[in-house]
Structure 1
Amino acid sequence: MISSTRLRPGRPWSWGPPIPGATSAGAHLPDPQTIATRAVRTSATPEALFLWLCQLRRAPYSHDWIDNFARRSPQRADPAMTRLALGQRFMTIFTLLAFEPGRSIALGMRPGAPSRLFGALVVEYRIDRLPGNERQLGAILRMPSAGRGAAARNTALAWGDLVMMRKQLRELSRLAEQEAPTRKEVR
């Protein structure tokens, strides 16, 4: 079977280091899918990164003046946010579809106005271990490719997401790096 999942090279479809396995079919969206990836490398521990990914339940950690009605995203982690359950709301417009503690979360666009505006997309946030003391915090945006206007909508979404997600991943990485010392720093 030939997958109709597509990852186009270059911007706005890709920013940051490659994400292993990004083109494997997403379980939460039917084919065909268009994919955009974003990633940052970080020295934060996987535990600290997951703690901060879970904070997306409280705020978007992006350009707050746009995504958070000009309120600053909390700068201290609430450990209670790591108690995840499928169906929980994230960043106002998303619902938790799946998670692997310490490793990943998958969010789907909520039904109603969010889905009508943005499409039934899915975002998977992943923490990948890299050689040495580095990690990679990545996001895979999966957008439905079928339907009227899908190509134009996905292109517009990819450009907007590039700006917002880049800020979000950098901010979550920064906060996670402050959370706990990495093994490299402990001597």
Structure 2
Amino acid sequence: MGRRHPLATAALKAGAAGAAYLLVVRPRLLRWGATDAEVGADFPGRDIVPGGARAATMATTIDAPPARVWPWLAQMGTDRGGWYSWDRLDNFGRRSTSRLHPEWQAVEVGDRFAAKPDGSQWWEVAALEPERFLALRMSLDLRGRPFDPAGERPARFTDSTWSFQLTELPGQRTRLVVSGYWSLRPRWLQPLMSVLVLEPSHWVMQTRQFANLKRRVEGRSPGAVTPSGLS
């Protein structure tokens, strides 16, 4: 048998790596930390994004009740407390806060959590039930310009929610489940962007946020402070 051409060998290795990612790695990323019941259950906010497909479902358990977790979610935003993830990647190098700020706790539907320091992009509060559920929505055309989701959609757009569901567990603990819905046009581009970009990047950022939220809420983060009245 003759020697296999180096390009053919490389192609075979790339194909094997791709197959391993799709069959083994990707299914784990799409449900990181979540149970079968959490993945299979209806997730709130389905009607927020018309035609939206369910995104990954990820979860963690925090050793504190929802009343102590919620304030950290309520103050998110680049112009507020940050996102508690990789700050160099999603918060433009600004460090996420390690304490609660009473002035950022009043949140209502329609409020905007800035996604850029100049306020040109944002997550809008699309639904909330304090200490139970928070849905953030971002609606952009494919040039990165926000559009009003209540009006006519552009021909090419991305419209998605990033949502947090809190359930109280025995022993003063919280089960935090994160999921959402996403619609992108042109439609053919959505599965490609999902597999190649959205899913791996979301996993990197969400697992980091989970870890940092746990440290802050549970009081294990240096400088973490819960002001009186917010405990």
Q: TM tier, shorter chain?
A: 0.7 to 0.9
Note the residue ranges of structure 2 that are not aligned, 5 or more in a row: 1-25, 116-121, 147-153, 220-224, 227-231
1:100-144 per-residue CA deviation (whole Å, 9 max, x = no partner) reads 011111010144516699821111111112244331112113222
Distance 1:65 1:78, change over 3 A: same
Q: Distance in 2 between matches of 1:23 and 1:46?
A: 18
Structure 2 residue matching 1:14: 3-state secondary structure: coil
Residue 159 (structure 1) aligned with residue 200 (structure 2): yes
Q: Distance in 2 between matches of 1:174 and 1:103?
A: 20
Q: Assess if the C-alpha contact under 8 Å between 1:56 and 1:90 holds in 2.
A: yes
> How does 1:1-187 map onto structure 2 within 5 Å?
10-18=27-35, 19=38, 21-23=41-43, 26-57=46-77, 58=80, 59-92=82-115, 93-112=122-141, 113=144, 119-144=158-183, 147-155=187-195, 156-178=197-219
Note the residue ranges of structure 1 that are not aligned, 5 or more in a row: 1-8, 181-187
Q: Distance in 1 between matches of 2:62 and 2:200?
A: 24
Deviates more, 1:101-110 or 1:24-33: 24-33
Q: Assess if the C-alpha contact under 8 Å between 2:71 and 2:100 holds in 1.
A: yes
Structure 1 residue matching 2:188: 3-state secondary structure: coil
Distance 1:95 1:25, change over 3 A: closer
1:6-47 per-residue CA deviation (whole Å, 9 max, x = no partner) reads xxx823311112337345671201235132011111111211
Higher relative contact order (CA 8 A, sep 6+): 1
Aligned letter for 2:85?
S
Aligned letter for 2:200?
W
Q: Assess if the C-alpha contact under 8 Å between 2:83 and 2:209 holds in 1.
A: yes
Aligned length: 172
Distance 1:170 1:56, change over 3 A: same
Structure 1 residue matching 2:206: 3-state secondary structure: helix
Q: Distance in 1 between matches of 2:129 and 2:162?
A: 14
Report the aligned-residue RMSD.
Answer: 2.6
Deviates more, 1:65-74 or 1:171-180: 171-180
Q: Deviation at 1:49?
A: 0.4
Query: Max radius of gyration: which structure?
Result: 2
Deviates more, 1:163-172 or 1:79-88: 79-88
Aligned-residue identity in percent: 27
Aligned letter for 2:90?
D
Q: Assess if the C-alpha contact under 8 Å between 1:50 and 1:101 holds in 2.
A: yes
Residue of structure 2 in register with 1:184 after alignment: none
Q: Distance in 2 between matches of 1:45 and 1:123?
A: 21
